[in-house]
């Protein structure tokens, strides 16, 4: 039996240049694996707690040395000698050790980094890829990518109040074909813009006259690439409504859906406006995605299932704080015919855990930025490698 021998954490940096936490787990075989936690900008209040040293001015209050110390001094002792492949015991121990609802005591950043690193190490010890280790299935689906090609809201310095303008390739027969189409659209969009600076998730971030102008230029770049909007490539939005100064109405969204090839809208309303969510979901048959609404939390998802508040859930492991709880939420969603979209955070890293998670859970979609900035591209590259390794058995999900 391979056991956890030691855990060592340190402060590293995320793609926005902010401090974040890495945990490295060592086995009784002297093998090790590490994981880095991401960090959001448009974070909801129902998310698990990210522990930062607010009073330490050396890093403008953003350092994570207290969380690092929680791993090195508290978590490492509690997990020592547990079997590395007993993820449910590992996560249960972490949850009980913290003992709070939102992991305020040890910090969800400290807990998740350890939880993910343990999975990676167990996969290494078993000599199987992470997606196979995390999965209960024998057949695997590659997720359809949602690429955020124009950034706004709190991810960019421009005047767009909608946070994410994404493209989703439709009806492709492989993941690599989905990426090829996206590549062409991004390159054609680039040619149409005079300012090609990118935002936090790698999408272009110039000023536009309006949200509609941003949507229209994406439609032009889809056509320029030789594709049919809606049939070959559709548009998906993340409004991130918690961050809006002026809330948008149900009619605003119904008009957008009527006028443009929009197939998915995430967070159209703020995180506790359950009523509006329910009304919009009833009035449309497109994908309505709960991010801040559900916060990858089973109780909130249960409420959403009962009230038919949405038909899809965004899955961010650091909103809940352990791998086991993340897998439980995905299970609950699938049992109730909610689509699962595995997601990065706007502050991310070279860690590609979510790419494996998306394949392991046969999630229909993944959202991990544009084809720019290595912390985004690394996830797509990981999926291309998985597709290649699966060979003839590799299939892409269907919506
Ligand atoms: P965040 O953005 O990581 O800044 O929260 C991602 C999202 O809202 O989906
Ligand atoms: Zn979101």
Full DSSP string of 180-197: HHHHHHHHHHHHH-S---
CA–CA separation, 397 vs 171, rounded Å?
9
Q: How many angstroms does the Cα of residue 169 sit away from the middle of ligand 1?
A: 21
Predicted pLDDT of residue 91: 99
Q: How far is the CA of 268 from the centre of ligand 2 (A)?
A: 9
291 lines ligand 1 (CB under 6 A): yes
Known catalytic residue at 190: no
Measured from the CB, is residue 36 less than 6 Å from ligand 1? no
Phi-psi region of 226 (alpha: psi -120 to 50; beta: other; left: phi over 0): left
Q: How far apart are CA 52 and CA 67, in angstroms?
A: 7
Residue nearest to atom 1 of ligand 1 (CA): 40
The ligand 1 atom at the shortest distance from the C-alpha of residue 267 is 8
pLDDT per residue of the chain (399 residues) written in tens, 0 to 9: 999 999 999 999 999 999 999 999 999 999 999 999 999 999 999 999 999 999 999 999 999 999 999 999 999 999 999 999 999 999 999 999 999 999 999 999 999 999 999 999 999 999 999 999 999 999 999 999 999 999 999 999 999 999 999 999 999 999 999 999 999 999 999 999 999 999 999 999 999 999 999 999 999 999 999 999 999 999 999 999 999 999 999 999 999 999 999 999 999 999 999 999 999 999 999 999 999 999 999 999 999 999 999 999 999 999 999 999 999 999 999 999 999 999 999 999 999 999 999 999 999 999 999 999 999 999 999 999 999 999 999 999 999
Of 364, 166, 124, give the one whose Cα is nearest residue 264.
Answer: 166
Tell me what pLDDT residue 371 has.
Answer: 98
User: Is there an atom of ligand 1 within 6 Å of 242 CB?
Assistant: no
**Is 201 considered catalytic here?**
yes
At 241 the pLDDT is: 98
The pLDDT of residue 146: 99
Q: Would you state the pLDDT for residue 22? A: 98
Could you give the CA distance from residue 75 to residue 98 in angstroms, rounded to a whole number? 9
Does ligand 1 have an atom closer than 6 angstroms to the CB of 317? Answer: no
CA distance readout (Å), 205 to 196, 198, 280? 7, 5, 28
State how far the Cα of 125 lies from the Cα of 185, in Å rounded to an integer.
41
DSSP string, 324-348: HHHHHHHHHHHHTT-EEEEE--SB-
By residue count, the chain amounts to 399
Strand partners, 42: none
Q: What is the pLDDT of residue 207?
A: 98
C-alpha 339 chain-centroid distance = 14
pLDDT at 366: 99
DSSP code of residue 305: H
DSSP state of 316: -
Rounded CA separation 168/338 (Å): 18
Distance 319 CA to ligand 1 centre (A): 10
What is the distance between the alpha carbons of residues 292 and 35, in angstroms, rounded to a whole number? Answer: 24
Q: Which of 155, 312, 319, 346 to mutate to test the pocket of ligand 1 (most atoms within 8 A of CB)?
A: 346
Catalytic residue (one of 164, 201, 325, 387): 201
CA 190 to centroid of ligand 2, rounded, Å: 24
CA-nearest of 171, 214, 37 to 116 is: 37
C-beta 240 within 6 A of ligand 1: yes
């Amino acid at each position: 039996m391979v056991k956890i021998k030691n855990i060592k954490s340190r402060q590293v940096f995320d793609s926005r240049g902010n401090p974040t936490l890495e945990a490295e787990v060592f086995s009784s075989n002297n093998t090790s694996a590490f994981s880095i936690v991401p960090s959001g900008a448009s974070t909801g209040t129902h998310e698990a707690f990210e522990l930062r040293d607010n009073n330490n001015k050396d890093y403008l209050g953003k350092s994570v040395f207290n969380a690092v110390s929680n791993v090195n001094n508290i978590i490492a002792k509690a997990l020592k000698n547990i079997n590395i492949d007993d993820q449910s015991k590992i996560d249960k121990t972490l949850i009980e050790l913290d003992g709070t609802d939102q992991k305020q005591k040890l910090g969800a950043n400290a807990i998740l980094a350890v939880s993910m690193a343990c999975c990676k190490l167990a996969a290494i010890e078993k000599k199987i890829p992470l997606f196979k280790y995390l999965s209960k299935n024998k057949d695997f689906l590659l997720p359809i990518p949602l690429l955020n090609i124009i950034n706004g809201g709190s991810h960019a310095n421009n005047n767009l109040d909608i946070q994410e303008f994404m493209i989703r390739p439709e009806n492709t027969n492989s993941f690599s074909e989905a990426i090829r189409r996206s590549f062409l659209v991004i390159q054609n969009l680039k040619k149409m813009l005079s300012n090609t600076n990118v935002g936090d998730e790698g999408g272009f971030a110039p000023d536009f006259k309006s949200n509609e102008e941003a949507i229209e230029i994406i439609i032009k770049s889809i056509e320029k690439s030789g594709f049919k909007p809606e049939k070959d490539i559709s548009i998906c939005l993340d409004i991130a409504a918690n961050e809006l100064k002026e809330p948008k109405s149900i009619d605003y969204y119904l008009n957008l859906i009527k006028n443009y090839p929009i197939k998915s809208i995430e967070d159209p309303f703020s995180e506790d406006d359950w009523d509006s969510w329910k009304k919009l979901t009833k009035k449309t048959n497109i994908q309505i995605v709960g991010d801040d609404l559900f916060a990858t939390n089973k109780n909130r998802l249960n409420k959403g299932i009962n009230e038919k508040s949405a038909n899809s859930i965004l899955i961010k492991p650091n909103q809940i704080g352990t791998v086991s709880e993340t897998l439980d939420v995905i299970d609950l969603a699938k049992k109730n015919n909610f689509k699962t979209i595995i997601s990065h955070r706007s502050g991310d890293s070279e860690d590609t855990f979510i790419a494996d998670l998306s394949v392991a859970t046969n999630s229909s979609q993944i959202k991990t930025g544009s084809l720019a900035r290595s912390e985004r591209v690394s996830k797509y590259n990981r999926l291309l490698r998985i597709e290649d390794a699966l060979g003839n058995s590799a299939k892409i999900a269907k919506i």
